[in-house]
A and B are shown apart, each in its own frame.
Chain A
Amino acid sequence: MAAPSYATKPQVVGHYGLRIFVALVCVFLVAPIFAIIPLSFSSGTFLSYPMPGFSFRWYEEVLAPRPWMFTLRNSLFVAIGATIFSTTLGTLAALAMARKNLRSLPVINAFLLAPMIVPLIITAVGLYFFFAQLGLTNSFTGLIIAHTALCLPFVLVTVAATLEGFDGTLVRAAQSLGAPPLTVFRRVILPIISPGVASGALFAFAISFDEVVVAVFLAGPTQRTLPKQMFSGLRENIDPSILAMATLLVVMATGLMIVAGLLKRRSERMRGLSG
């Protein structure tokens, strides 16, 4: 970390200046995520330091069936459903994209990525009116369909990135040895892209699990999701049980990040990109 010995004075200042600045930005990035964790163990009802005492009372509240565990179950159900559908659709599209044999590829690609770019409020309001006519508002079906559309581009991008370095000769080798297309897919393509598919699925899960805007418009009382519950809690009055839930979500995020990192490393090894 030290500046090289031959550096001139301004260079030394620059060297440490850059590192101090980056350190401060890192504090800005990470501190807010951890600052709330101690408060979730407060025995008081106010969200401020110093805390009156230590307690698990807010965690007990989070583990109560209503509202938290009920909304958590709904969110898991919707997120798992949306993950399955969006991963299937997105992986197929990524396979087609990797073939690079269509002239309309840029148009199709731009269209498939649109749910990532179009503001959530527009998607939410559009689906709200559309599903109202089909009787799909206030239903899990509607919510899963909506989240599938939102997650699809993220799966596509992630799986397509894995296929970027895919060695086409492997497929041709399998074909020349007489493997039918499905066998080629199952025995050659799938093992290589599976870490990518898994990271795509992880991504989709995180997106759906955290999605608020569409849920606010489409979910009724029975489908109330965790983010919707948190949103209305933050709007009306924050009590430390939200922070206890938030702490659990930070733990989950850390887990997701670690798994995503491992998958990425595995995918790179499978494709021979690194030792």
Chain B
Amino acid sequence: MAATTADLKQRLRRTERRRRLGSLGLFAPSVIFLLIFFALPIALMLYRAVQNPEVANTFPESMAAIQQWDGEGMPGEPIVAEFAQELRDARDERQLSAPGRRLDYEIAGYRGLLRATAFGLPDEEPEASWTETLIGIDPRWEETQYWQALKENASPFTLDYVLTALDLEWAEDGGLQWVSEHQAIYLDLYERTLWMAFVITLAALLLGYPIAFLMTNSSRRVQGILLVLVLLPFWTSLLVRTASWMVLLSRSGPINTLLVNLGLTDAPLELLYNRFGVYVGMIHILLPFMIMPLYAVMRGIPHSHMRAAASLGAPPLRAFRRVYLPQTMPGIAAGCLLVFILAIGFYITPALLGGNEDQMISYFIAYHTNETLNWGLAAALGVILLLMIFVLYAIFTRLTGTGRIQMGT
């Protein structure tokens, strides 16, 4: 008898193990797909935040040597000679644009200096020293700062982009310091992004809570109508909704026409290309994401609770505050976090409805990727944005359990 039980247990364990393997097999295609085409690309992109390959890879020998230089006066003739020859090779292989762009961030005009020098270099050993040859082509090579810029970029790794993204810079003494006030951009950008997301989340909660409440506490027909009114914007293209707001809020749009005709304002109000426009558009787009989790939680609260509170003598407001509201807290938390997480990553809507002062982090990532081609900085901003998201997402899953994100349908 005992032997059979052990045998049965073992077979049961084996079956369970096989089923676990089966589950892994079902997960595998998705996990592998997302590892290759989602996680890996993002990881490689974020890695650019600390990479600094342009100068180090183009001039490998001289950059290895220049790290030994003390940074005073000029590097010795052997280093300069090595650099000049590698510069000539880079010219012949058309590899000048990447290091040129990189060095231009350090000292404006470096790109031109590098090009002019490369094309001025003789093809054979010069009669004078390489140092004199370079200075002969452009006297700027006599200035220490140009060599220091090379030395600072001699390593293929750098913290510069991350520091720039935090408005920090290296001080003279080697420590860190805040950049001067007129250069500081990014801390304000994070503050603005978080503040805008906060305002939008709060507004969505204040507008969405009553709707969700009425949806749960009314007849089936009213419930159905409200659900359609909430889901229609949800299924409608984001660009369509943004386009509508561009039309509605424009200077000659229906809202301004109405206000002027009613005599409420003398001249049309500026409702577009400012913070107001961004708020209106984003609240409209994110409101369904607030209502859905609230509705899901409220549906699970028995009506009898409020009636019990009332029969015990609680006035409606107190019954709501003491009995109903606390039970909806999970929905409030889930809805607010979801809206907040989605809001801080917004790009399209602020780009179309906002002005220069209303752009969020995403806009600057796109800007540095497409316009300035400062990919290291774009990556550093990406790291910071992603860190914010991960912290919030961790709180979200802790509060609601995984997979409980409620979507439409």
Is B40's CB within 8 Å of the partner chain A? yes
Q: Contacts A121-B366, A158-B407: A114 and B38 contacting too (C-beta < 8 A)?
A: yes
Residues of A within 8 A of B194 (CB): none
Flag if B243 contacts A264 (CB, 8 Å): no
Residues of A within 8 A of B213 (CB): 18
Residues of A within 8 A of B23 (CB): 96, 99, 101-102
Is B399's CB within 8 Å of the partner chain A? no
Is A146's CB within 8 Å of the partner chain B? yes
Q: Tell me the bound Cα distance from A152 to B30 in angstroms.
A: 8
Q: Which residues of chain B from 328 to 371 have a CB within 8 Å of any chain A CB? A: 341, 344-348, 351-352, 362, 365-366, 369
Residues of A within 8 A of B344 (CB): 119
Which residue from A92, A101, A110, A246 sits with its C-beta under 8 Å from B237?
A: A246
Q: Please name the residue on chain B nearest to A17 by beta carbon.
A: B210
Is A220's CB within 8 Å of the partner chain B? no
- Counted as pairs of residues, one from A and one from B, with CB atoms less than 8 Å apart, the total is 271
Is B149's CB within 8 Å of the partner chain A? no
Instruction: Report B295 CB to chain A, min CB distance, Å.
Output: 13
Residues of B within 8 A of A101 (CB): 16, 19-20, 23
Q: Which of B74-82, B125-133, B176-184, B224-232 sits within the interface?
A: B224-232
Q: Tell me the bound Cα distance from A190 to B276 in angstroms.
A: 49
Q: Please name the residue on chain A nearest to B230 by beta carbon.
A: A29
Instruction: Report A163 CB to chain B, min CB distance, Å.
Output: 11
Q: Contacts A14-B316, A102-B20: A25 and B210 contacting too (C-beta < 8 A)?
A: yes
Residues of B within 8 A of A129 (CB): 41, 44-45, 48, 375
Flag if B211 contacts A22 (CB, 8 Å): yes
Q: Tell me the bound Cα distance from A115 to B252 in angstroms.
A: 39
Q: Tell me the bound Cα distance from A110 to B397 in angstroms.
A: 8
Name which of B240, B287, B375 has the most chain A CB atoms within 10 A of its CB: B240
Residues of B within 8 A of A160 (CB): 403
Q: Please name the residue on chain B nearest to A209 by beta carbon.
A: B237
Is B248's CB within 8 Å of the partner chain A? yes
Flag if A35 contacts B42 (CB, 8 Å): no
Flag if B34 contacts A121 (CB, 8 Å): no
Q: Which residues of chain B from 30 to 66 have a CB within 8 Å of any chain A CB? A: 30-31, 33-34, 37-46, 48
Is B110's CB within 8 Å of the partner chain A? no
Q: Is the interface of B mostly helix, strand, loop or mixed?
A: helix
Which residue from A28, A119, A127, A154 sits with its C-beta under 8 Å from B347?
A: A119
Instruction: Report A272 CB to chain B, min CB distance, Å.
Output: 19
Is B247's CB within 8 Å of the partner chain A? yes
Instruction: Report B205 CB to chain A, min CB distance, Å.
Output: 12
Instruction: Report B378 CB to chain A, min CB distance, Å.
Output: 6
Residues of A within 8 A of B242 (CB): 234
Q: Which residues of chain A from 60 to 94 have a CB within 8 Å of any chain B CB? A: 88-90, 92-93
Flag if A19 contacts B232 (CB, 8 Å): no
Is B253's CB within 8 Å of the partner chain A? yes
Q: Which of B5-13, B167-175, B381-389 sits within the interface?
A: B381-389
Residues of B within 8 A of A261 (CB): 231, 409
Which residue from A109, A123, A234, A238 sits with its C-beta under 8 Å from B403?
A: A109
Q: Please name the residue on chain A nearest to B242 by beta carbon.
A: A234
Name which of A26, A125, A146, A206 has the most chain B CB atoms within 10 A of its CB: A125
Flag if A257 contacts B235 (CB, 8 Å): yes
Flag if B362 contacts A108 (CB, 8 Å): no
As a 0/1 sequence over residues 302 to 320 of chain B, the CB contacts with chain A under 8 angstroms (1 = contact) are: 0000000000000010000
Flag if A28 contacts B210 (CB, 8 Å): no
Q: Contacts A102-B23, A117-B341, A145-B37: A249 and B254 contacting too (C-beta < 8 A)?
A: no
Flag if A30 contacts B232 (CB, 8 Å): yes
Q: Contacts A26-B226, A48-B252, A234-B352: A123 and B247 contacting too (C-beta < 8 A)?
A: no
Closest CB pairs A-B (n = 9) = A119-B345, A96-B26, A130-B41, A126-B41, A126-B45, A32-B244, A126-B42, A121-B362, A48-B252
Q: A26-B229, A152-B30, A212-B348 are in contact. List 11 more A-B contacts (CB 8 A).
A: A25-B211, A32-B284, A33-B241, A96-B24, A97-B403, A99-B22, A105-B402, A120-B362, A122-B365, A149-B34, A242-B243
